[in-house]
């Protein structure tokens, strides 16, 4: 199959999923698109502009299939028992299993509990602590998730922040992408049994908990929580004010696992094996990503970020940009095929995809213009990747968050240069600490110095009065228009490169 037809197939399917995610078109509309496409394809054999009509026909067929796939995903399980209780606001008593790692926030711990095939988001107190695989007996009020207004802030000081109501955030849709349909606020919880769930995941989460405990023994808070998020994507609270500072300075992406963070892990492995032939060094990088994904629990978020990181490593190693780009699109396609709701509701998927695309396709062109920057310590590469990703994700961030960070680029440049060393030292600190706290202390002190510097940069820039400002109601159509312009620019840049070659 030629790249042209593959592009039409991908564009049609993704377009159909995107349309269905905003409009409840139903099965009939999906069937109409497929039938219309089949008829048009049959007619195209007798038309003069056969290729054009065939292209439109294939686009319509795959768009209909994209809508149909979304309809399948949107079909909820039997909710009759829960629906009647949630509608009346009554209490319910149920038993369920904690099916994901607990998400520890500043004021509560969020548990995803599956009962009778239905997932429920439970807001619990920090104590007693529950773990993945625990069987719980829960009694409390059941409610359906409701949308709420997205907050945005104008000033740099938390005490002066003014909340501005923007378009509602579809919280129910966001949870439904993970098949979560109900919430329970601080119900009565009793532990029934431990040790349920997947054995491998239990062991990986236990290893992760031991690692985080080792970090907290030698690194004070909130630096330990920051290091946990930076290295293993730990779901631990680092404080509302600090999180807001990360958003204002445009560096929130480093406290959650992303393709960028995991590609740093791969780079570290590859440097250790740099004396070997390239194929072996790359193999060590790939192995590092796989081991990292397993250690962090191999959740959907980690798998997505790991796949994106693998593509970045392969692109940098082989230099075969066009093949890697198609691999990126196919990876994104299979992710959307598996769960079509991530296309609209998973900001992590969207940002990872765009950032990876920018690193693969835009960063090399930026690097060509940065000849005045030294290559030592990979400064030119880091700065080019930072500029490319910041430019590329900006329209999506404006649409999603409505906040523009005027200091994003300088903060990212000042911080990201030291992130690889920070992650490496953090790993060593946690790994040694699992065996001996005394051995981990020297590495912990050095890690603390790096963390103190990075958080210091964030705090200083966040306090600037012009650090960020609100962009109310940034529309989706404008974001798409900007990305269309980006696509034209990238196509022209690569066209020039082809002519030069």
Lowest mean pLDDT among 114-123, 219-228, 488-497: 488-497
Asked whether 470 and 459 are in contact (CB, 8 A), the reply is no
| pLDDT score at 300 | 60
Residue indicated by tokens 């067929």: 61
For residues 331 and 234, the model is more confident at 331
pLDDT, position 340: 92
Q: 101-149, pLDDT tens digit by residue? A: 888 887 889 999 998 888 999 999 988 889 999 999 999 988 888 766 5
pLDDT over threshold 70, residue 232 = yes
Average pLDDT, whole number, for the chain?
Answer: 80
Give the CA angle between residues 490, 493, 498 to the nearest 5°.
Answer: 125
Residue 189 phi, psi (nearest 5): -125, 130
pLDDT score of 165 more than 50: no
Amino acid 397: pLDDT: 83
Q: Pairing state of beta strands 403-405 and 468-470?
A: antiparallel
Q: pLDDT value at position 427?
A: 84
Q: Which residue has the higher pLDDT, 46 or 457?
A: 457
Asked whether the predicted pLDDT for residue 97 surpasses 70, the reply is yes
Pairwise CA distance, residues 161 & 158, whole Å: 5
More confident of the two residues 10 and 296: 10
How far is 145 from 406, CA to CA, in rounded Å? 34
**How many Å apart are CA 165 and CA 383, to the nearest integer?**
35
Angle, CA of 298, 303 and 304, to the nearest 5°: 150
Q: Would you place residue 154 in the very low, low, confident or very high pLDDT band (cuts 50, 70, 90)?
A: very low
Task: Name 313's Cβ contacts closer than 8 Å, sequence gap at least 6.
Answer: 263, 266, 267, 270, 282, 285, 286, 289
Give the model's pLDDT for residue 166: 43
User: Which among 422, 444, 397, 440 has a CA at the least distance from the CA of 230?
Assistant: 422
pLDDT tens digit string along 254-270?
Answer: 766 665 566 666 666 66
**Closest to 282 (Cα-Cα) out of 324, 254, 322, 253:** 324
| Cβ-based neighbours of 13, under 8 Å, separated by 6 or more | 62, 63, 65, 66, 69, 333, 336, 337
Provide the pLDDT confidence category of residue 162 given band limits of 50, 70 and 90: very low
Cβ contacts of 393 within 8 Å, gap of 6 or more: 351, 354, 355, 358
**3-state secondary structure (DSSP) of residue 326:** helix
């Amino acid at each position: 199959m030629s790249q042209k037809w593959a592009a039409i197939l991908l564009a049609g399917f993704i377009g159909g999923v995107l349309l269905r995610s905003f409009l409840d078109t139903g099965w009939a509309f999906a069937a109409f698109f497929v039938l219309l496409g089949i008829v048009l394809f049959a007619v195209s054999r007798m038309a003069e502009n056969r290729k054009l009509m065939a292209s439109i026909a294939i686009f319509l067929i795959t768009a209909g299939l994209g809508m149909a796939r979304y309809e399948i995903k949107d079909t909820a399980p039997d909710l009759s028992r829960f629906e009647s209780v949630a509608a009346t606001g009554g209490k319910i008593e149920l038993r369920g299993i904690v099916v994901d790692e607990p998400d520890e926030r500043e004021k509560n711990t969020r548990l995803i509990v599956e009962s009778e095939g239905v997932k429920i988001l439970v807001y619990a107190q920090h104590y007693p602590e529950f773990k993945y695989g625990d069987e719980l007996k829960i009694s409390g009020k059941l409610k359906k998730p409701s949308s709420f207004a997205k907050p945005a802030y104008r000033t740099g000081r938390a005490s002066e922040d003014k909340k501005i109501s923007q378009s509602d955030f579809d919280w129910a849709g966001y949870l439904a992408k993970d098949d979560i349909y109900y919430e329970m606020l601080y119900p009565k919880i009793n532990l029934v049994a431990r040790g349920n769930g997947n054995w491998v995941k239990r062991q990986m989460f236990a290893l992760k908990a031991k690692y985080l405990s080792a970090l907290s023994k030698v690194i004070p808070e909130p630096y330990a929580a920051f290091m946990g998020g930076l290295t293993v994507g730990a779901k631990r609270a680092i404080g509302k004010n600090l999180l807001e500072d990360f958003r204002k300075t445009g560096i929130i992406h480093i406290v959650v696992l992303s393709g960028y963070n995991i590609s740093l892990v791969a780079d570290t492995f590859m440097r250790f094996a740099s004396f070997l032939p390239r194929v072996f060094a790359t193999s060590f990088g790939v192995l590092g990503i796989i081991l990292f994904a397993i250690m962090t629990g191999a959740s959907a978020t980690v798998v997505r970020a790991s796949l994106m990181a693998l593509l970045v490593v392969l692109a940098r190693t082989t230099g075969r940009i066009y093949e890697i780009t198609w691999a990126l699109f196919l990876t994104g396609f299979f992710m959307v095929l598996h769960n079509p709701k991530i296309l609209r509701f998973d900001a992590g998927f969207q940002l990872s995809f765009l950032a990876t695309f920018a690193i693969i396709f835009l960063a090399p062109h930026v690097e060509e213009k940065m000849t005045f920057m030294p290559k030592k310590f990979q400064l030119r590469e880091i700065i080019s990747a930072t500029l490319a990703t910041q430019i590329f994700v900006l329209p999506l961030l404006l649409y999603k968050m409505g906040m523009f960070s005027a200091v994003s680029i300088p903060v990212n440049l000042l911080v990201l240069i030291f992130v690889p060393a920070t992650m490496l030292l953090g790993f060593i600190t946690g790994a040694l600490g699992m065996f001996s706290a005394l051995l981990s202390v020297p590495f912990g002190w050095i890690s603390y110095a790096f963390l103190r510097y990075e958080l210091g940069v964030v705090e200083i820039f966040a306090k600037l009065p012009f650090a960020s400002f609100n962009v109310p109601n940034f529309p989706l159509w404008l974001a798409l228009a900007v990305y269309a312009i980006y696509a034209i620019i990238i196509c022209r840049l690569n066209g020039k490169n082809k002519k030069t070659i």
